[in-house]
Amino acid sequence: MAIKTRFTEEFGIEHPIVQGGMQWVGYAEMVAPVANAGGLGFLTALTQPTPEDLAKEIARTKEMTDKPFGVNLTILPAIKPPPYAEYRQAIIEGGIKIVETAGYKPQEHIDHFKEHGIKVIHKCTAVRHALSAERMGADAISIDGFECAGHPGEDDIPGLILIPAAADKVKVPMLASGGFGDGRGLVAALALGADGINMGTRFCVTKEAPIHENFKKQMVENDERDTKLIFRTLHNTARVMKNAVSEEVVAIEAKGGAKFEDIQHLVAGVRGRAAMEKGDADDGIWSAGMIQGLIHDIPTVKELIDRIIADAEKIMDERLA
């Protein structure tokens, strides 16, 4: 039996399971297996150095799957912003039909994509932001609870409250994000009013994920307490894996009066990427969610998705019959 929801029907996928955009992870090697297993995967536009590189990655993914997949475009305030219009054009010309937007004021991006018949899922961390995106024309919302990896916002509302609070008000299909990684989570998300789940950290711990094996093993060993919240004092909170670097960042912030310049050398993306490439899980910042406490193995993407669906069906058929 397949689990059908508004999201699977409207977005043309088999299972209500989404692999959202993740910097340095959202490559063809990650996205194609998700699509082939019946989920919805997202390339990450800004992982590609140029719009031309994104166009090549879209083409490469299409060689690996004939099923739907999308592209994530994250919009962040910057002194020198990326050429967003050119990235959008690469997405449009690449024939992509689903985009995940995240971040700051997505109106112009939503408008442009909708002009070309592209469905937009906007990822956000608060009910008020979800309603704003819905008014802007988003076709679906991905609502990110406090448990999530990356940026959980500044309200600190966990999914158990945030998801039903959003479901009470949001009319378009909605994905639950942050703290999901198994069949229990999928059933819980559906019970709370969501139409599917969005997973990041759990997909990082699969055989196909383009991440050094040491990071995968570390996340299996970690439990639900092994994350740190950094940038709290800068009002740009991020949840990352607990390691020597994140603990040093937290210690600097705890002294008070810290500026970004005081921690920049620790959190630089170049340092984090170098640590990932050489497999040193203690030498850079790595986004990871509390779901680490529920990750106990490194399956293939297909094994993971099949297991989530089978476990969810079993819960619904037996425990909730």
Pairing mode of beta strands 227-230, 238-241: antiparallel
What predicted TM-score, i.e. pTM, was given to this entire model?
0.96
Low-confidence ranges of the chain (pLDDT < 70): 1
Q: Which residues of the chain form CATH 3.20.20.70?
A: 6-211+295-320
Q: How many Cα neighbours within 13 Å face the side chain of 99?
A: 30
Q: How far apart are CA 203 and CA 181, in angstroms?
A: 8
Segment 265-303, tens digit of pLDDT? 999 888 888 888 899 999 889 999 999 999 999 999 999
Q: How far apart are CA 61 and CA 66, in angstroms?
A: 9
Segment 11-27, tens digit of pLDDT? 999 999 999 999 999 99
State whether residue 117 is helix, strand or coil.
coil
Q: Which residue's structure tokens are 């703290």?
A: 179
pLDDT at 1: 65
Residue 299 CB burial class (10 angstroms; 0-12, 13-18, ≥19)? middle
What are the strands, taking DSSP E only, across 92-139? 98-103, 119-124
48 beta partners: none
CATH number of 6-211+295-320: 3.20.20.70
